Structure 1
Amino acid sequence: MMLKLTLRLVERPLFGLRRPVTPWITQGVSRAALAILGMRYRRRGRPMRERGALVANHASWLDIFALNAGGRVYFVSKAEVADWPGIGWLARAAGTVFIAREKREAKAQADLFETRLKAGHRLVFFPEGTSTDGRRVLPFKSTLFAAFFGADLRDILWVQPVTVVYTAPEGEDPAFYGWWGDMGFGPHALKLLATARPGGVELVYHPPLRVAEAENRKALALACETAVRSAAAG
C-alpha cells in the first residue's frame, strides 16, 4: 500500500483518472494472495481488450483476488464498504467505484460510470446483488446495465461475462469457499488459511458482448447471466 500510494502521488497529476502503473501492483498482490492460500489458479479464455466492463457471479470475498489476478480492473461496490475499517481504505486506494442503492442517486451513478469508462477503466460488478455458496447463479439484476446505454457509451462499450468457479479441497463441502449470509470474515479466512490441501479457482472468460447489439439493459443482463451460468459449478 505504501508503494501504491507513493506512486499515485506521481501518477495522478500526470495521468488524472488513468492509472497506467498502480493496477499492476494490485494484480501482483492478488496473485500472491492466492499463492499464499495455496490455491490453484486457472484461466480459460482471455480478458477482453475492448473498452467496457466485466460482470461475474459472486461467491466469496476471494472473488476480488481472483478477478484482480486475472486482469487490471476496478470493482463496483456498495457505498457502505467505503466505511468498513481497513477494507474500505484498501478499496478506495484500489480505485473502487462506490454506489448507493437509491433511485435518487441513479443519474449521479450513471455519470460516474461514464467518467470512469471514458478514462479507460475496465469496471467489474456482480449483477446478482449478493454472494452465494458458489454452487449456483442467482438471476442478474439489470439496474447497473442501464449505465452502458448512455448516448456517448452505447456504441463504444462491450460487456464480458466471467464465471468464477471454485474447486473445494479434497473431501470438503463443495461450498467450502463460499462466503454468504451472516458468515464472519475472520473465521472464514482462518478456515481457508488452515487448510492442509487447498483447492483452486478458475476464471472462465466468455466472449464479450457489444452493448449496441443488445435490445435493452434487460436483454443484455439476461445474455450475460446465460453465459455465466453455462460454466458455473453445481
Structure 2
Amino acid sequence: MIKLRLYFRLLRLLAVIGLGALLAGVISVAERIVKHDLMSTRQRLTRWFMARLSAALPFRVRVSGRLPETPMMWVSNHISWTDIPLLGMLAPLSFLSKAEVRSWPVAGWLAQKAGTLFIRRGAGDSTVLNQQLSRHLQQSRNLLMFPEGTTTDGQAVRTFHGRLLSSAIDSSVALQPVAIRYLRNGKRDEIAPFIGDDDMLSHLLRLFRSDRAEVEIQLLTPIASHDLNRNALARQAQTAITAALFGSNLAPATSDSELEAA
C-alpha cells in the first residue's frame, strides 16, 4: 500500500512537472515572438503552476493572515525547497535563489523560466543585484526572498541578512513577513526539512513515502521600509517571524483556507 501511494504521488508530481515544462516552453516562444519580457504573465502562470505543484505534495496547508493588496518584498524563514511552491501559490511572485539552483536538473530550468533571480553567495555583486531587485520592485512586482540564506530544521530562525533589503528601501516597498512551519502529529516535522548534504531524490522518496504532514503559513503584518536602514528592517522581520513561530502570542488570523493534497 505504501509503495502504491509512493508511485501514485511520484506519477502525479511528474505530470505536474511536465505541465510546468510545457508552460515554460510556451512563454519562451511567446517572448521571442513579441520580442519583450512577459514577466507579469510569467508570474501569473507561475502561481497557477505552484498551486498544482503544492497539491501534488503530501501536505495539508493552513494559511492565516491577509494577502497584501499592493506589491511587496516577501521575506520568510526557510526550511525546505517545498517552501517555494507553498508560498508561490499564494500570490504572483518572483523568487530570489542561490545560484546553485540554476544547475539543478529540470527544476533549475523551470526556476529560470519562472523569472527567478539568482545570487552567487560571496560573489561581491550585491550592489548590482540590489539594482536589479529595485527595478523589479519598482515595476510593481512581488518578490520573495529567504534572508537566512539557507534552510534550517525548523527549530529556530537564523539571523536575517539585510544587505539585499536595500532594494525595498530604495523602492519604498514594504516587507511582507511570512512564517512557515511544518508539523507531523502535532510536533516539528523532521522529514520536510531539506538541509545539509541531503539530495533531492532521497528527500522526495522520504517525503512521498510518509503520511501527510501539516503546514502552517502565517502572513504577518507588513513592515514599512521608510525611515529604517537595511539591518533594522532585517531585525524587525526576523523578530516578527520568530515571535509568530515560537512566541506565546501568535499573530491573529484574518482569513483561513485549508488545502489538501492526496
Q: Residues 21-32 of structure 1: matches in 2 within 5 Å?
A: 21-32=41-52
Distance 1:11 1:182, change over 3 A: same
TM-score with structure 2 setting the length: 0.78
Determine the C-alpha separation between the residues in 1 that align with 2:78 and 2:29.
Answer: 33
Q: Residues 39-54 of structure 1: matches in 2 within 5 Å?
A: 39-54=59-74
Q: Indicate the residue corresponding to 1:222 in structure 2.
A: 235
Structure 1 gaps, min length 5: none
Question: What displacement does 1:103 show?
Answer: 5.7
| Aligned counterpart for 1:199 among listed residues 213, 222, 231 | 213
Do 1:135 and 1:174's aligned partners in 2 also have CA atoms closer than 8 Å? no
Deviations 1:13-46 (A, max 9, x none): 6694453333333223322223223311121112
Please state if 1:74 is matched with 2:94. Answer: yes
Distance 1:34 1:103, change over 3 A: closer
Q: Indicate the residue corresponding to 2:17 in structure 1.
A: none
Determine the C-alpha separation between the residues in 2 that align with 1:145 and 1:89.
Answer: 26
Distance 1:31 1:204, change over 3 A: same
Question: What displacement does 1:213 show?
Answer: 3.5
Distance 1:43 1:15, change over 3 A: farther
Do 2:95 and 2:116's aligned partners in 1 also have CA atoms closer than 8 Å? yes
- CA RMSD, Structure 1 to Structure 2 (Å): 2.3
SS in 1 for 2:100: helix
Q: Indicate the residue corresponding to 1:179 in structure 2.
A: 194
Question: What displacement does 1:122 show?
Answer: 0.8
Determine the C-alpha separation between the residues in 2 that align with 1:144 and 1:13.
Answer: 34
Task: Letter of the 2:144 partner, please give it.
Answer: V
Do 1:43 and 1:70's aligned partners in 2 also have CA atoms closer than 8 Å? no
Q: Indicate the residue corresponding to 2:143 in structure 1.
A: 123
Structure 2 gaps, min length 5: 1-20, 248-262
Question: What displacement does 1:110 show?
Answer: 1.4
Do 2:76 and 2:145's aligned partners in 1 also have CA atoms closer than 8 Å? yes
Q: How many residues align?
A: 227
Determine the C-alpha separation between the residues in 2 that align with 1:193 and 1:14.
Answer: 41
Do 1:52 and 1:123's aligned partners in 2 also have CA atoms closer than 8 Å? yes
Do 1:45 and 1:206's aligned partners in 2 also have CA atoms closer than 8 Å? yes
Determine the C-alpha separation between the residues in 2 that align with 1:39 and 1:202.
Answer: 10
Determine the C-alpha separation between the residues in 1 that align with 2:134 and 2:186.
Answer: 46
Question: What displacement does 1:116 show?
Answer: 1.2
Deviations 1:74-104 (A, max 9, x none): 1101222222322221110110001223464
Determine the C-alpha separation between the residues in 2 that align with 1:71 and 1:110.
Answer: 22
